[in-house]
């Protein structure tokens, strides 16, 4: 019986993780595609920034809409819908010849991405026992690193030789995987348990997230999510472009980002180990502090060795923090409003994802230096760490209801 349960947990992690990996592949390729589009379409820095920000606008809308839907029609169905949405959108965007159409499609792709991530973490969080919950969700988030590695490999070998269109066509493959999901993915046992009970209206769900019971953790999560997403998308979407501006060729920048991305894997491994030993708050504060230090180091790097070292440390700490964030968020709410609560927090975070990529080109246009820009991201991350340290509720080994 125990073996059957263990296999079921591994199956859920594997299925949700592969969906997560496809998300990361799309987001990861976007940073490389933006660099290629600058060459092909002669984009300005502000236009490049809008591609990343339009993606985040879609993610904000998707996280909110699909988070609410997950509490009404189930985690499984929303997971499948969002996966199809971003896969098909990515495939269609390969045939665009104008920035306007590309931006519209990026909005819908972003909706799929933004909806899938909090729903998948909620599904997995509700499907494993409390003593493994944090570690398993961090392992789910570790599939993000594999998606980025896949994106870097595709971008390194495919974009220079075959163009960015070929890379986008490859990303349509998850659409076929969504069909497989419908047949094989079980829904959350906790959702199935409350499914027959009277469901809250959308208005009631959103009010419940800000009820006296949930108010403190909601405020903490919203600030934390904003700071993390603002800094992540501001920094990582611009890594290839920053390297090109430092004198590396486009192909060479892909190579360096590929090396940095490999550092995500030990970051997840350490976070997964510590999260059940030392708790969620400890891991979040430790990894966010490491992210802040690495961001500052990256900004002031004046040599290839220092740039690479800082990038590796940035990947290690930042993605480990993401793993803890996704483990921590669903644990703050009860099953009836868990999808709504996690989705709303992610949606607020995506507002940061809109501002982050736009900030870089606007500040560089004002002749603000790269060290100053990365110091801003450093401060944002430290604010997130301070908020969770002083106001966050520890949820290690707490039974979620």
**DSSP 8-state code for residue 303:** S
Helix, strand, coil shares of the chain, percent, nearest 5, are: 85, 0, 15
In a domain, 143, yes or no: yes
CATH of the domain at 147: 1.20.1250.20
Whether residue 194 is contained in a domain is answered as no
Rounded Cα gap, residues 71 and 67, in angstroms: 7
Q: How far is CA 235 from the centre of its chain?
A: 13
In a domain, 400, yes or no: no
Tens of pLDDT, residue by residue over 277-286, are: 999 999 999 9
pLDDT of 149 above 70 = yes
Distance CA 382, CA 287 (A): 10
Distance CA 24, CA 42 (A): 26
Whether residue 256 has pLDDT greater than 80: no
Note whether residue 190 is domain-resident: no
Domain membership of residue 2 (yes or no) is no
Domain that residue 331 falls in? 7-184+201-391
Predicted confidence at residue 221, as pLDDT, reads 97
Q: Tell me the two tokens of residue 182.
A: 């419908």
Q: What is the pLDDT of residues 268-323, one digit of tens each?
A: 999 999 999 999 999 999 999 999 999 999 888 877 788 888 889 998 999 999 99
| C-alpha to C-alpha distance for 159 and 157, rounded to whole angstroms | 6
Count structural domains, the chain. Answer: 1
Residue 380 inside a domain? The answer is: yes
What is the rounded average pLDDT for all residues in the chain? 87
Please check whether residue 282 lies inside any domain of the structure.
yes
């Amino acid at each position: 019986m125990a073996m059957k349960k263990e296999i079921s947990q591994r199956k859920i992690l594997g299925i949700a993780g592969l969906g997560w990996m496809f998300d990361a592949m799309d987001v990861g390729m976007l940073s490389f595609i933006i660099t290629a589009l600058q060459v092909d379409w002669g984009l300005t820095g502000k236009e490049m920034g809008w591609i990343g920000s339009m993606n985040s606008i879609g993610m904000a809308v998707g996280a909110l809409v699909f988070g609410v839907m997950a509490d009404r029609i189930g985690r499984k169905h929303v997971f499948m819908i969002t996966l199809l949405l971003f896969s098909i959108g990515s495939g269609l965007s390969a045939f665009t010849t104008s920035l306007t159409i590309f931006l519209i499609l990026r909005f819908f792709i972003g909706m799929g991405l933004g909806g899938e991530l909090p729903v998948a973490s909620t599904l997995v969080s509700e499907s494993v026992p409390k003593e493994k919950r944090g570690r398993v969700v961090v392992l789910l988030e570790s599939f993000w690193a594999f998606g980025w590695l896949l994106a870097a490999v595709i971008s390194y070998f495919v974009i220079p030789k075959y163009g960015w269109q070929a890379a986008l066509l490859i990303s349509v493959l998850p659409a076929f995987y969504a069909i497989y999901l419908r047949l094989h993915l079980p829904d959350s046992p906790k959702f199935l348990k409350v499914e027959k009970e009277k469901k809250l209206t959308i208005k009631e769900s959103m009010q419940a997230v800000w009820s006296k019971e949930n108010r403190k953790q909601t405020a903490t999560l919203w600030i934390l999510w904003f700071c993390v997403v603002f800094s992540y998308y501001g920094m990582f979407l611009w890594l290839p472009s920053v390297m090109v501006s430092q004198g590396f060729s486009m192909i060479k920048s892909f190579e360096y980002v590929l090396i940095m991305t490999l550092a995500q894997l030990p970051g997840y491994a350490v976070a997964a180990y510590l999260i059940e030993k030392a708790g969620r708050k400890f891991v979040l504060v430790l990894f966010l502090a490491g992210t802040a230090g690495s961001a500052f180091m990256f900004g002031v790097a004046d040599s290839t060795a220092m740039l690479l070292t800082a990038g590796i440390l940035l990947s290690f700490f930042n993605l480990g923090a993401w793993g803890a964030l996704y483990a921590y968020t669903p644990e703050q709410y009860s099953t009836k409003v868990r999808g709504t609560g996690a989705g709303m927090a992610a949606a607020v975070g995506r507002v940061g994802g809109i501002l982050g990529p736009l900030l870089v080109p606007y500040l560089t246009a004002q002749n603000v230096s790269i060290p100053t820009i990365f110091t801003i991201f450093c401060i944002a991350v430290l604010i997130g760490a301070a908020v969770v340290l002083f106001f966050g509720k520890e949820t290690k080994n707490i039974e979620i209801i």
